[in-house]
Structure 1
Amino acid sequence: MTKQSSLPPLRLIAASALVLVLSGCATFSQDGGLDSVSALTKERTGQDVRLPKATGNADPAREELARLMKSPLSADDAVRVALLNNRGLRASLAGLGVAEADLVQAGRMSNPSFSFSRMSGGGETEIERSVIFDLVGLVTIPIRRDIEARRFESAKLVAALDAVNLAADTRKAWFRAVAASQSTRYAEQVREAAQASAELAQRMARVGNLSALDQAREQAFSAEATAQLARARHNATAAREQLARLMGVWGEHTAFQLPERLPDLPAAPREATNIESLAMQQRLDVRLSKVDTESTARALGLTKATGFINVLDAGYANASKSGTPRENGYEVELALPIFDWGGARVAKAQSLYMQAVHRTAHAATVARSQVREAYSAYRTTYDLSKQYRDEVVPLQKKISEETLLRYNGMLASVFELLADARTQVTGVNAAIQAQRDYWIAETDLQAAINGSGGASVSLGASSAAEAAPEH
């Protein structure tokens, strides 16, 4: 509907000034949310997140990456390379710009619409002009900005969660790669011992000092040791490539160096003191669920506010006819709630809110369960690795020494000596696997407390007796 009257110039100026002020409040931040993501990541991993510069020679991030790749990588170094170089993480960080753009857009008023009409006939010409503003959009700018601000916070949490998960995956891949390389070297020793035993058996069989059955057993063991070495080498290559993918390296950087052995066990394990409450405070996925619920609740308020009236436009209008003075006034357009009273939109928003509430409660329940499971795996793998280090490996070494004494005293055959050497190497290899499992479980525990939960761990039997065939 349109009403013709004079529009005071002062009101028009005040309305224009209000629009300019509200539009001017919406600006982009200098860091694009990266500082918050970096702080959240550093709090949980000890390392920040930085993006290499697009141009320029003096780039600290690239210089740090080149320096790290020149020396053997520690677990922390590998994580640092991944946070600097992984393109998947960069794609996640680019999502911050999308969320911030939505925030800035929400703080800006919709562009006014301009209409023009011209009608002529009977020697007369009538011209109408109008400029229409979205009043509902203007009034709801603070609410929409608040909603998008919460979504921007959600985007920061998502990016930080991706960074923390990347750090945990990279750390576990590093432990697997080092352990696989270390196991390969012991598999080579087993094959060498098996080949020596097979060659000796062949020589003794030629002179009639060994039965065909015993010779066949030694040759079968040698063939099996060769096959195990081939599998070990492939596993080492696969573990190394997995680490390379997470670090995002290619070309000459794929020739990175790793230490020869895993880190030693800590002196004592971590106690399970308040790990559940700590997870409720630190878990990024739980915090993300809470922010999403708050954002949904705020959106419910907006839906209720605009459920009855969601179209209200007003603006300046004038009309002129041939031979008559120009007429000025204003125009108001209101959507009449005849067919749609907004009840369906409000009901949908309420259902979305309850859905978010239940998801948050579910995330908290899952987080508590995951942290309990992760601690069980952590403590069990620590005890197993310590048992291998303090009992199994020293006992096998003692057995090997006694066997050597019996061989020197001509109380044991050379085949018993070689078989014992193979068993000892296999036991050491099992100790390496137990030590690797501990460090992976320790990383999963940190992820269960700080990130989005560690992977489920099922510990299988792994002993020297089971790893080596009977002989």
Structure 2
Amino acid sequence: MVSKLLPFRRTALVLAVLGLSACASLPPDLGRSDVSAAVVARGQALPTGDTAQLSAQLLAQPLTPDNAITLALIHSPAVRQTTAQLGLAAADVYDAARIANPVFSASRLTSNDPAAVSAQIGLGIALSFTDLIFLPARSRYAKAQFEAAKLEVGSATLVLASEVQSAWYALAGAEQNATLKTRVAKAAQASADLAQRYFTAGNINQRELALENAAATQAQLSALTAQAEVERARSALNRLMGLPATRDQWQLAGGLPAPLANEDELDALLKLASENRLDVAAARRNAEAVASAFGLERRTRLLGPIELSYERERDTDGSRTIGPGVSVAIPLFNWGTGRVARAKAQLDAAEADLAAKELDASNDVKAAHAAVRSARAMVERYRDSLIPQREAVVDQMQLEANYMLIGVFELLAAKQQQYDAYSGYLDAVRDYWLARTELTRAVGRKLPSSDQPAAATLDAETLAKPKGGGMDHGAMGHGAMGHDMSSMPGMEGMEGMDHSGHDMSGMEGMEKPAQKNPAKPTMDHGAMGHDMSSMPGMAPPKPAAGEGSPRAEQQTEMPVKQKPAATSPPARKPKPVPQSESHQGH
């Protein structure tokens, strides 16, 4: 009876082993759908459908931060490299759910006995019983590691999105700063050209001319540096999007937006980070898996390799022997202490990694939140204080320059400081958005405040446009002087100024203004051919309908002194100030 049951038991054992092994299979789509769900749940959209067609559409239109992220998720090698980790983890799950292959053995032994009929033949097959014992625990550990790998891939995807967004803001800020500094460089060159004409006329010395030329060169160097930063930032964004250098013809969709109306509270962000940081969740899952493995090692420390075998032999006399076998490792010299110590060290490392990531999460959020608040305060201080103050200085100096109480170069220096304030403002806005992007990464999901209506986009050209009116010298005719100041900031509107025979030294407060050369007490603009018709900043403001010019009426009553005959260019009869002279806007 027993002999009849043995074949059945052997068959049942084989079927059980095959059944356990058949349960193992590769996870569907290698876990990509789970990663996508985790990323989308944290506010980051993922590309779907025909990605090649989608990429072409996005590159054909102005590039927004969201579109740049989509292109990176389609093309970036970093995404493919990270996703490959899912395949490795899925393979570990597959292998962990299968036992080792059985080992087949065969032998042929000959005998020196002349009576031996044939050689001794032995056949056997052995299977690791230890694999069967540890199969469930090993499978659970591999699945936990696979879950951790999916979380890590999701975290890497969100980090890449943050890096692309930061690169977009860096490029937008660099482009706007380059626009501003290019305009400043053109204005500085116009100032240097004006200084050269003043030097030729003998109104400034060599040192002052050298200072103006050096300032113009410095402004040009700043513009070149800003343009180089644009190229560097553009290359960085192109690389993050996974595009080759030959596919960089895209353009950004606008510049930096203004700061949002409201910001998030720190306590709410800390709570969100504890719930949404995928890297923390991955470290927690890994620590749980390692803790389970450590418990198993400690319980089975004395259990060594166990093999089940089945052998069949045929002796030299033709008789056959058949039967099962077992081999067990005896824990005589090694009690598994090393395995337990290794598992404990791995557990300590996993728990330390979890603690470090939890600390990083909370501190990253707090630091990034503080950076956002600081950057916002900087933006507000520039916008509400420094820029209005610099503009007020330029407006006041504009009035003084129009009445020749100060020199043109002093006005240009004030205008340069105004441009510096604009540049600092753009940098502060850029830093604000970079800080918000870092805060998004630290929290691990889209910020609640991001749902606010989009803020207005800053325009560097609008910032750089000279502000303030100018003096209406429509009948004062600087056209005879030959100075074209049309590109100088803050000097718009000196169109048609004709100072022929117009010595303003007799006007109250205008005695020999800005006199640089004692040898030339007065300057006859009519004889020098200065054309100031296009200087920026001297544009006459348009009067309202019916308004007159009280200042013009006052000046027509003022006497005009004769210029000394010894210093005047071609002699001519002095004439009074024309009745059409107008100082509208002051």
TM-score, normalization: structure 2? Answer: 0.72
Aligned to 1:286: 280
Query: Cα RMSD (Å) of the superposition?
Result: 1.9
Consecutive unaligned residues of structure 2, counting only runs of 5 or more, are 446-586
Larger helix proportion of the pair: 1
Indicate conservation of the 8 Å contact 1:297/1:353, yes or no: yes
Shift of 1:278: 2.2
Deviations 1:243-295 (A, max 9, x none): 11111111542111113420121112222233223222222222122112112
Does the 8 A contact of 2:148 with 2:282 survive in 1?
yes
More displaced stretch, 282-291 vs 394-403: 394-403
Q: Is 1:20 paired with 2:10?
A: no
Q: 1:389 aligns with which of 378, 383, 393?
A: 383
TM-superposed CA distance for 1:49, in Å, is 6.1
Q: Which residue of 1 aligns with 2:252?
A: 258
Q: Percent identity?
A: 32
1:131–1:317: 8 Å Cα contact kept in structure 2?
Answer: yes
Residues 1:356 and 2:346 aligned together:
no
Does the 8 A contact of 1:165 with 1:447 survive in 2?
yes
1:70-469 equivalences in 2 (<5 Å): 70-121=60-111, 122=113, 123=116, 124-450=118-444
After superposing the two structures, state which structure 1 stretch, 305-314 or 194-203, moved more: 305-314
Q: Is the 8 A contact 1:133 1:315 kept in 2?
A: yes
Offset at 1:191? 0.6
Q: Are the structure 2 counterparts of residues 274 and 40 from structure 1 closer, same or farther at C-alpha, using a change threshold of 3 Å?
A: same
> What is the SS of the residue equivalent to 1:446?
helix
User: Cα offset for 1:225?
Assistant: 0.7
Which string of whole-angstrom CA distances, capped at 9 and with x for unpartnered residues, describes residues 330-351 of structure 1? 0101111111111121122122
The more displaced of 364-373 and 130-139 is 364-373
SS in 1 for 2:266: coil
SS of equivalent residue, structure 2 residue 255: coil
Distance across 1 between alignment mates of 2:326 and 2:285 = 38
Task: From the CA coordinates, give the structure whose radius of gyration is larger.
Answer: 2
Higher relative contact order (CA 8 A, sep 6+): 1
With 140-149 and 258-267 compared, the bigger mean Cα shift is at 258-267
Amino acid at match of 1:44: R
Deviation at 1:387, TM superposition (A): 2.3
Structure 1: which 5+ runs fail to align?
51-58, 452-471
Query: Relative to 1, partners in 2 of residues 1:49 and 1:337: Cα closer, same or farther, differing over 3 Å?
Result: farther
Using the alignment, how far apart are the partners of 1:45 and 1:434 within structure 2?
Answer: 26
- 2:304, 2:330 within 8 Å by CA — same for their partners in 1? no
Report the Cα offset of residue 43 of structure 1.
2.7
* Runs of 4+ with >4 A deviation: none
- Whether the 8 Å contact between 1:150 and 1:292 is mirrored in structure 2 is yes
SS at match of 2:190: helix
Alpha-carbon separation, structure 2, partners of 1:284 and 1:435: 29
**Length, aligned pairs only:** 440
TM-score, normalised with respect to structure 1: 0.89
> d(CA) in 2 for partners of 1:45 and 1:91?
23
User: What amino acid sits opposite 1:350 in the alignment?
Assistant: K
1:84 maps to amino acid:
I
Which whole-Å CA distance do the structure 2 matches of 1:364 and 1:162 have between them? 17
Contact 1:37 1:49 in 2 (8 A): no
Superposition deviation, residue 305 in structure 1: 4.2
Aligned mates of 1:333, 1:48 — CA distance in 2: 55
The AA in structure 1 aligned to 2:314 is S
Q: CA deviation at 1:430?
A: 0.8
Deviation at 1:47, TM superposition (A): 1.6
Q: Is the 8 A contact 1:307 1:341 kept in 2?
A: yes
For 2:27 and 2:342, how far apart are their aligned partners in 1?
33
Counterpart-to-counterpart distance in 2, 1:144 and 1:162 = 27
Contact 1:72 1:257 in 2 (8 A): yes
Distance 1:246 1:180 in 2: 17
Check conservation: 1:307, 1:345, Cα contact below 8 A: yes
Q: Distance in 2 between matches of 1:169 and 1:103?
A: 32
Amino acid at match of 1:348: R
